[in-house]
Amino acid sequence: MVIILRFLFFIFILFSLFANTKPINFNLYKLNSNDIYNKPALLIISGIQGDEPGGFNATSILIKHYKIYDGNVWVVPNLNQHSILKNNRGIYGDMNRKFAELSEDDPEYEIIQNIKKIILDENVIKILHLHDGSGFYRETYINNLLNQNRWGNCSIIDQKTLFEQNDLNNSISKVVEYINRNLLDELHRYRVRDTNTAQGDKEQEKSLTYFATINKKMAFANEASKSLPLNQRVYYHLLAIEGMMKNMNIKFERNFNLDIKSIDKLIDEKDTNIVINDIIELPLHNIRPSINYFPIQKDNNFHSNTPIIWLFKDGEDYRIKHGNKNITRLKPFYTEFDYSLKNVNIIIDDNEVEIPIGTIVSVRNNFIIPSLNYRVNVIGYYKKNIDSEVNIKIKKDELMNKFSIDKDGKKYRIEFYKQEEEKEDKFAGMIIVDFTN
């Protein structure tokens, strides 16, 4: 588990790559106001089932675009990261049935112990667990999609009372009222659902929220319907989160209007990046589905400005996903990495500027890389057989479209290599030139 402290909008996360066949531990983000002490925390969890993207897309937006200025919100966006990458409910079985008894041999045993510790943390007083459920819950049978056995669009408690008469029920009822004041369609109307777990619901007894409940934590689940498109599921989860924060007097701000159009932009955000080994920054918006000959080493680390971006090895290739959604596939060119190059002076549109290695730079018309002690390879430059592409004014139409990293032919890689006698060149970093504007 990696604990990430985030103040204001500063996000910097370091993940490490994992062995492909093992469960992956989750991340915990603490979205705190400056006054973080003596304020009870709301814990929000998503991604326990890998094929329920409404939840983890909502928490990713929460982490990136909300500011908490009074109170504590802790977020685990990716409880079941390995299943999220596989877009599978649970590749080691249903994780939400592992909170009562669990064998130490279970591959997810450690993850369960880690999340239990966070649930039981003395600062955590309320827990909101996000799911995407089928159909629409109704108290009585209306049709196949609307009935008592469906889970979509309801908010769930295991019992009505924990400390004081009806306290769980009152809390969740306020959240449901808040959601229902903002419905997109009457069909979506939320209900409170009490599973009465202690009255013999053997399945619910094994769930995360029931584990919390019997340990005297106020726990709730929110379900958005799988019948709804992703943007609407995210909308309802964000409403549930906001309703819960309002309940707890947690003061927050978001930097967007809560509507479907804005959510669409946030799910596929223009600034989404991934930084690999600190010397490559890839812009992920509109990236090609596959990139050839991509420099990579044996052990890699990465971070992103978007919590649910993940890099992992899959067979011969490396893949990047946004939650359970494919972003791109990197065909690896294995090389040793060299970290000696920090900045490069580049003449961009006739102005010389110092550009840090591992960044993206906007170019209007042309750029020139003055000679330096590293070999320079501008991927896609039409003139071949040049050892190092320095001291050449390179214009966009001299770059071959099919080598761009984006689908529109606007973003190109400049790669730097350290040369040493009698040795193979080492990769020393990348700068992306972006002709979008």
Pairing relation of β-strands 343-348 and 325-334? unpaired
Q: Site for Zn ion (CB under 5 A): which residue of 131, 233, 237, 413?
A: 131
Specify the stretch interacting with Zn ion by CB under 5 A; choose among 49-57, 122-130, 165-173, 387-395: 49-57
Burial 232-250 (b: 16+ CB within 10 A, else e): bbbbbbbbbbbbbbebbeb
Residue 150 sits in the site that holds Zn ion (CB under 5 A): no
Pairing relation of β-strands 301-303 and 309-314? unpaired
Q: From the CA atom positions of the chain, what is the Rg in Å?
A: 24
Pairing relation of β-strands 124-133 and 136-137? unpaired
Which of 49/204 has CB closer to Zn ion? 49
CB of 274 to Zn ion, least distance (A): 27
Tokens of 411: 């973003």
CB of 325 to Zn ion, least distance (A): 18
Environment class of 391 (CB within 10 Å of its CB; exposed 0-12, middle 13-18, buried 19+): exposed
Measured between alpha carbons, how far is 223 from 310 in angstroms, rounded to an integer? 25
Which of 211/381 has CB closer to Zn ion? 211
Specify the stretch interacting with Zn ion by CB under 5 A; choose among 127-135, 280-288, 311-319, 399-407: 127-135
CB of 52 to Zn ion, least distance (A): 5
Neighbours of 261 (CB within 10 A): 10
Which of 99/435 has CB closer to Zn ion? 99
Which of 52/406 has CB closer to Zn ion? 52
Q: Which residues contact 106 (CB under 8 A, 6 or more apart)?
A: 92, 98, 112
Specify the stretch interacting with Zn ion by CB under 5 A; choose among 124-132, 249-257, 376-384, 428-436: 124-132
What's CA 182's distance to the chain center, in Å? 25
Tokens of 265: 């932009």
Q: Which helix (H) or strand (E) is 236 found in, with range?
A: helix 230-247
Which of 201/278 has CB closer to Zn ion? 201
Q: Site for Zn ion (CB under 5 A): which residue of 49, 57, 225, 232?
A: 49
What's CA 355's distance to the chain center, in Å? 28
Which of 234/276 has CB closer to Zn ion? 234
Of residues 340-379, which lie at the interface with Zn ion (CB under 5 A)? none
Measured between alpha carbons, how far is 117 from 7 in angstroms, rounded to an integer? 23
Measured between alpha carbons, how far is 327 from 318 in angstroms, rounded to an integer? 11
Specify the stretch interacting with Zn ion by CB under 5 A; choose among 45-53, 70-78, 331-339, 354-362: 45-53
Size of the site for Zn ion (CB under 5 A): 3
Which of 52/269 has CB closer to Zn ion? 52
Q: Which residue is nearest to Zn ion (CB)?
A: 131
CB of 150 to Zn ion, least distance (A): 13
CB of 130 to Zn ion, least distance (A): 8
Listed residue (216, 67, 223) closest to 156, CA to CA: 223
Measured between alpha carbons, how far is 432 from 346 in angstroms, rounded to an integer? 12
Which of 131/303 has CB closer to Zn ion? 131
Which of 76/279 has CB closer to Zn ion? 76
Which of 53/380 has CB closer to Zn ion? 53
- Give the three-class secondary structure for 60: helix
Specify the stretch interacting with Zn ion by CB under 5 A; choose among 51-59, 252-260, 264-272, 339-347: 51-59
Residue 78 sits in the site that holds Zn ion (CB under 5 A): no
Specify the stretch interacting with Zn ion by CB under 5 A; choose among 66-74, 115-123, 128-136, 171-179: 128-136
Half-sphere exposure of 12 (CA within 13 A, CB side): 2
CB of 418 to Zn ion, least distance (A): 49
Residue 306 sits in the site that holds Zn ion (CB under 5 A): no
Facing residues of 49 across strands? none
Residues of the shown chain interacting with Zn ion in the complex, contacts defined by CB under 5 A: 49, 52, 131
